[in-house]
Amino acid sequence: MSVPEIVIALVLGIGFGFALNKAGLTQYHKIVNVFRFTDLAVLKFMMTALIVAMAGLFGLDALGLLALPVPPQTYIVGNLLGGMIFGIGMSGVGI
């Protein structure tokens, strides 16, 4: 990794952590309550981020300013099983 790449990774990480903290997702009850349907902040946060990023990403790609990155691989059984194991941990302890 070059120095500019490290600096940008650090800055974007700081922004990511800041956004998570301000959305309240660093707290146990915010994470767990989305699975109890009493506080949907996690979903609101994630879906807003998805919409904004999708619009920007595919817009910039259409203008030829950006090459779309390689998306994560799909292997349905693994993705699903992994998600199910992940869900137990996430909902159980709220991290």
Q: How many CB atoms lie within 10 A of CB 29?
A: 13
3 binds other proteins (CB under 8 A): no
2 binds other proteins (CB under 8 A): yes
Contacts for 24 with CB less than 8 Å, ≥ 6 apart? 30, 41
CB of 28 to other proteins, least distance (A): 4
Query: Which 55-84 positions form the footprint of other proteins (CB under 8 A)?
Result: 56-57, 60, 66-76, 78-84
CB of 3 to other proteins, least distance (A): 11
CA 26, CA 21: separation in Å to the nearest integer? 5
CB of 14 to other proteins, least distance (A): 4
User: How many CA atoms does the CB half-sphere of 55 hold within 13 Å?
Assistant: 5
